Structure 1
């Protein structure tokens, strides 16, 4: 049956981690005026909520939004995919070839609509249609465009003062909040081998080629929240002295040295005086003979788009960086400078068509790197992490608007990761818990507000489309909670969770000579393991490599595990920590069944869950946060100023897009169009 289209231009604005509950809080405080305009000019529920797919984690939820199918149907069931050969290992999952359901953008492009899929994680790369109308940018990871493949060098902080006597370099040093950057014992700081390639494990050749990744989560220090909030960056200490030997050093300038590329590339730098005789700028040069600097930095201003050579694995390429002065003494006795990671400006491997990359960088500018440091160091969050995302959000908005206006795209599916990236570093610090009692929760609550204000500004970049007959859908994959407690070791998505399953006697780890558990499963004694966000696997004979459980005993063992999990209590509060627990066959009720799911699905109870992923999308947390995703629709084909009571689900988004554009549903679609919000009956 053919339908009459309700719109001919459609933009899906996806914001990873955007939570309707806290959005309403900031709306009520007048801090999100653009979101308010979208709501007033469109339709949503009163609570702005939709029900997220399960598990409530990035790749499954974005794939559900794209296909209208539940994770058990489309096959993207967690951040990682279970290794087919090992119960304690995972493999790379953000690959469209793992998706077993049809994506809506294949339908739009094959129907003749010029379609752009912009950094949609989980099921967009590589492109799954040969239509010349389909363009795809990245999607292999949720961070930022090109982050997974183009990174050449890590972030660094340079400290220079007269007290430092020689240039010294230390890679990936973990710093506690408030700790300075002068290294007094470099050798002990560096320790053993240092891996300065942040993404090598997650996005390197081993992961991409399907190699196993084996991570054991045994203690709080192994959890993603703790690891993600650590502040780690390269540190360079340099003498600060009068400038000598320069071709063109201004009067009164003082020099220091910057090391990049793992410490092998030197860049001389000068601090410069203003007309009042105070030092207020930093000029960085390729060498002392250069007439012009690579960049001049002014206090209080982050500069992006800085191109300089970077050497990695003995190959030198031009890389794009951002830089900022963190501290500059007006008297010239101290300077601190932050330098971002470097992105290879020649890397277009995740752009289809490759000509699109050339057009964007020539007309908008190079992809700006975002910072991944901050965490418990509120200075770095304020001065580096947040403004780096300001720059990236503006670049992405400009790039998408350029594509719409100049390249003639009719349909755009887009994803922005600023809130989620901040959430994984910062949200747990917005409540004072024993593990982080050295931080101020009010400071981090203000950071949450800053990222929502930043997102609102990003939304405002597309407001003009409502006056140009476009339809705009605002969606997210999940929200992010500020946790009420430090959760137990179960439900962490990054690998094998051992502690609770050890306590219950289902997972047995091998011991060292002192009787302490080591990171190796004793398969001869292990009946079940908990791995990835929400799954428990029985160590089954005939199916698993080291299986010991007879298949005839599987049902009874599952019943025992489910009972034990429901009876498990937090040692401090005495409360239950497991929310729901279902066998695979019963998890069809929530769309979390099938061969890519475990033998048992479970969720962590509200108040004991992490940011998201281990919990249900109805979970709520501290500081008016929740795991729910947001949904707002406005523009052509959508009722104006309308509030619906309908429960909206993520599976409903793809069929709604289909109806709005007058197209068929995706082949495996399990949702239904949100017809109540349409301006015309269908």
Structure 2
């Protein structure tokens, strides 16, 4: 829930909600923010407008959807995460600011969260697989409608739309393509292995609808920033660092709760955070840093790369880590100083464990992933390439995501700035060989 920052002591903003169960126990009447609506079991509501009043006459508008999963013997209901109301946004969610309002007036309320599909609701059992798919495809339909509106109203220019659907569904249903996945052994309903195939049939249908709206002068580019692999086993890097003497705990403890609660920073040299990052407890950067940024840091990198490269999961007799990437060996960039000191390239079937992501430490390095989130791409990027489709022929067999911006610029007759990475993919009669030469040099 949103926090009321107007109070001296911050409190959650709350709304009264009344639920009246029908006598036949197959529906419930909900009353909230001056609205009354009836919901049958296993049915999503439309977007419901919610008004929070923090004080001083202020109103904060949000939207959400309700889902009653069970009425008897116990009432169970799911509420989507709160979304900023696009018709009356509390914060800018579009540019220009009025664009979100225009879309809301045109088609009604729509999802505005950046991470739209609630994968954790399925992970934690708050939604069934069927309900998750229904909600996800409902969000997808909203994006489709907005894309078609933009294409139809843009006579000349650039239209871009990101569909989260393929990412969310593959994360959550990949286990049905992997007969050895640990998540299949839990108490989960048996879903058809066709869920992902059906997803791509829907996406193919979308491509056809888009092509129908384009003339022969238009260029359509379809791309993804990654592929997918099975996520069977988690690697707790913090546990490995602890067991190998790089991370220390207070008071002779053997475990630490999330966010490094029991870590002794005065003795810790290395820690892991996020989906593949290893950080040094560096002087002048971390609050209680103990590692110098010079030769001490370089020697520590060499040591860790030697030990972690090819790290073996003895229980499964397989390699968990393909490679360790050094930040200092990456190409330059404006935010390179925020990059982890080392980046872990996991092998297929592995990813950082759920505990390690949030800084938990325990005695277990390798563990089965039994969550519905069973497919992933936060591994060695060389084994999860994305895809690129184009209605124009391109000038290389090895396109990069960095080539998309230069390609768009060239399509509009604009020069690519010297500081921009990548090359245009457009084939030119006179210099197609030069483009390939430039790309080979960059690689």
- Output the TM-score relative to the length of structure 2: 0.72
Measure how far apart 1:390 and its partner are: 1.9
Structure 1's 598 and 445: CA in aligned 2 closer, same or farther, altered over 3 A?
Answer: same
The question of whether the paired residues in 1 share the 8 Å contact of 2:325 and 2:343 is answered with yes
Structure 1's 511 and 423: CA in aligned 2 closer, same or farther, altered over 3 A?
Answer: farther
1:366 aligns with 2:106: no
In the TM superposition, 1:259-408 aligns within 5 A as 264-268=16-20, 270=22, 284=30, 294-297=36-39, 302-307=44-49, 309-311=50-52, 319-324=62-67, 326=69, 338-345=78-85, 346-347=88-89, 349-368=92-111, 372=118, 373-375=121-123, 377=125, 380-382=128-130, 384-406=131-153
Q: Which secondary structure state, in structure 2, belongs to the residue aligned with residue 415 of structure 1?
A: coil
Question: Partner residue of 1:602?
Answer: 344
Question: Partner residue of 1:508?
Answer: 248
Measure how far apart 1:503 and its partner are: 2.2
Quote the Cα distance in structure 2 between the aligned partners of 1:542 and 1:285.
54
Q: Which secondary structure state, in structure 1, belongs to the residue aligned with residue 297 of structure 2?
A: helix
1:663 aligns with 2:414: yes
Measure how far apart 1:411 and its partner are: 0.8
The question of whether the paired residues in 1 share the 8 Å contact of 2:18 and 2:30 is answered with no
Selected match of 2:401 from 650, 659, 665: 650
1:618 aligns with 2:365: no
Superposed CA deviations along residues 8-58 of structure 1, whole A, max 9, x for unmatched, are xxxxxxxxxxxxxxxxxxxxxxxxxxxxxxxxxxxxxxxxxxxxxxxxxxx
Quote the Cα distance in structure 1 between the aligned partners of 2:420 and 2:218.
24
Question: Partner residue of 1:474?
Answer: 222
1:499 aligns with 2:239: yes
Structure 1's 533 and 681: CA in aligned 2 closer, same or farther, altered over 3 A?
Answer: same
Quote the Cα distance in structure 2 between the aligned partners of 1:517 and 1:334.
36
Selected match of 1:419 from 166, 174, 187: 166
Question: Partner residue of 1:240?
Answer: none
Measure how far apart 1:438 and its partner are: 1.0
Superposed CA deviations along residues 166-186 of structure 1, whole A, max 9, x for unmatched, are xxxxxxxxxxxxxxxxxxxxx
Quote the Cα distance in structure 2 between the aligned partners of 1:608 and 1:555.
27
1:455 aligns with 2:198: no
Structure 1's 587 and 270: CA in aligned 2 closer, same or farther, altered over 3 A?
Answer: same
Selected match of 2:323 from 562, 580, 586: 580
Measure how far apart 1:429 and its partner are: 6.8
The question of whether the paired residues in 2 share the 8 Å contact of 1:579 and 1:605 is answered with yes
Quote the Cα distance in structure 2 between the aligned partners of 1:659 and 1:378.
48
Quote the Cα distance in structure 2 between the aligned partners of 1:262 and 1:447.
38
The question of whether the paired residues in 1 share the 8 Å contact of 2:346 and 2:379 is answered with yes
Q: Which secondary structure state, in structure 2, belongs to the residue aligned with residue 413 of structure 1?
A: coil
Structure 1: segments with no counterpart, 5+ residues: 1-195, 206-260, 273-278, 491-497, 620-626
The question of whether the paired residues in 1 share the 8 Å contact of 2:270 and 2:278 is answered with yes
Structure 1's 365 and 666: CA in aligned 2 closer, same or farther, altered over 3 A?
Answer: farther
Quote the Cα distance in structure 2 between the aligned partners of 1:658 and 1:319.
38
Structure 1's 376 and 585: CA in aligned 2 closer, same or farther, altered over 3 A?
Answer: closer
In the TM superposition, 1:425-436 aligns within 5 A as 425-427=172-174, 431=178, 432-434=180-182
Question: Partner residue of 1:630?
Answer: 387
Structure 1's 397 and 434: CA in aligned 2 closer, same or farther, altered over 3 A?
Answer: closer
Question: Partner residue of 1:208?
Answer: none
Quote the Cα distance in structure 2 between the aligned partners of 1:267 and 1:456.
42
Superposed CA deviations along residues 136-187 of structure 1, whole A, max 9, x for unmatched, are xxxxxxxxxxxxxxxxxxxxxxxxxxxxxxxxxxxxxxxxxxxxxxxxxxxx
The question of whether the paired residues in 2 share the 8 Å contact of 1:271 and 1:283 is answered with no
Q: Which secondary structure state, in structure 2, belongs to the residue aligned with residue 320 of structure 1?
A: strand
Structure 2: segments with no counterpart, 5+ residues: 6-12, 353-374, 433-443
Measure how far apart 1:300 and its partner are: 6.9
Structure 1's 342 and 535: CA in aligned 2 closer, same or farther, altered over 3 A?
Answer: closer
Quote the Cα distance in structure 2 between the aligned partners of 1:543 and 1:328.
53
Quote the Cα distance in structure 2 between the aligned partners of 1:541 and 1:283.
59
Quote the Cα distance in structure 2 between the aligned partners of 1:489 and 1:646.
37
The question of whether the paired residues in 2 share the 8 Å contact of 1:294 and 1:306 is answered with no
Measure how far apart 1:646 and its partner are: 0.7
